[in-house]
Amino acid sequence: MPVHRAREQCRYVDTLSLFPAPAPATSPADPILKWVGGKKRMLGRVLPHYTGQSTVVEPFFGGGALSFHIAGRHPDVTVVANDRLAPLIDIYDAIRGDVDTFIAEVEQYALPYLAKSTKPERRLYYYSIRDKYMTGELDGPAVLFFMLRCAYSGLYRTGKTYPGRFNTSHGFGTEQADFYHTDRLRAAAALMQNWQLTAADFQSTLTTVGPDSFVFLDPPYRQTYTGYTDEGFTDADQLSVVDYFKAADALGAKVVYTNKDTGDDFYTRHFSDYSIARVPIKYSVNSNCADVGRPTTYEVLVSN
């Protein structure tokens, strides 16, 4: 049975004193998407908990920074990559299936975009593509991937006018040649050949968890915009993630959970038997970042 910290010992600690976090070396297995809430900045805190397990399970895959980093260095690892956002999983599936065709399809949008010489021209082109995508005139993983590479800070947003259709605003318009990183796409295609890609409820992945699993739970942030899917992510869903953590722990897996530090007692109440660390981080999306920069806030990292 897993050994937990005693309840009275549960406390927040600063992981800066526990795990020095040099930036991981850049690799062709870097994430292929910009993704808001992506964990590339947190890798130095999360990776010390990985001890060579043969399976990595990410029920909330998103940009997959952790899995790409681990698989890039341990190619035999099996990754269970799940995300309820089916269009996102379709992107990974298309890359794995035929990466050269995928790149060619992306370039149908990327090359005309790069040919625009000014940011206003690029913005108009982006919105013309996005409008056609929202109405269904354009569809598929390649055009969505192109938009995600050009959108504001990797934010995946949908709206009420066209439910379930990506509608994030244009980003800064400063992309350079090959901003979609063909080398990363080809490296990802090779790595993902033995991965399990699913677009199901996160709880369904518990069937893949065992004693030789490393489980990384990175659900939508609490008390933050969660309009990635039509269903949203409720407080009841957040409690279900806590239950998943405890179930995976009982199965003998190594489990790490991250979320936004919201300043309440949610984590100390629900993870009282586990190690809770408080990690300083700068979020890439902030409503007034133009005025105040990227403010440092905190995430919690819970581990068993």
**38, 71 Cβ separation under 8 angstroms:** no
Quick check: 259 and 219 in contact, CB under 8 A?
yes
- 3-state secondary structure at position 214: strand
Residue 197, helix vs strand vs coil? strand
Whether the predicted pLDDT of 274 surpasses 80: yes
Assign 37 a pLDDT band (cuts: 50, 70, 90): low
Please give the average per-residue pLDDT across 46-72, as a whole number. Answer: 95
Give the burial class of 92: count Cβ atoms within 10 A of its Cβ; 0-12 exposed, 13-18 middle, 19 or more buried.
buried
Q: For position 280, what pLDDT does the model report?
A: 84
Distance of CA 105 to the CA centre of its chain: 24
CA distances 194 to 55, 77, 160, 182, Å, are 11, 8, 37, 20
In the chain, the domains with their CATH numbers are 7-84+200-225+235-303 (3.40.50.150)
pLDDT per residue over 137-152, tens digit each? 999 999 999 999 999 9
**pLDDT value, residue 233:** 84
> Which residues have a Cβ under 8 Å from the Cβ of 192 and sit 6 or more positions away?
79, 81, 92, 95, 96
Whole-angstrom distance, CA of residue 100 vs CA of residue 133: 22
Neighbour order of strands in the sheet with 254-260: 12-14, 275-282, 296-303, 254-260, 213-217, 55-58, 78-82, 196-198
Is the pTM higher than 0.75? The answer reads yes
Q: What is the pLDDT of residue 296?
A: 66
Which pLDDT band holds residue 153 (cuts at 50, 70, 90)?
A: confident
Chain mean pLDDT for the chain: 86
- Res 230: pLDDT: 59
Average pLDDT over residues 68-95: 95
In the prediction, which pLDDT does 237 show?
A: 92
- Do 271 and 257 form a contact (C-beta atoms < 8 A)? yes
DSSP per-residue codes, 241-303: HHHHHHHHHHTT-EEEEEEE--SSSHHHHHSTTSEEEEEEEE-S--TTHHHH-S-EEEEEEEE
Q: Is the pLDDT of residue 19 over 50?
A: no
pLDDT of residue 223: 75
Mean pLDDT of 166-194: 95
Of 261, 262, 248, 256, the residue nearest 275 (C-alpha) = 256
Residue 21: its pLDDT value, please?
A: 44
pLDDT at 295: 56
* Model pLDDT, residue 23: 44
Q: What average pLDDT does the segment 256-282 reach?
A: 91
For residue 203, the SS3 value is: helix
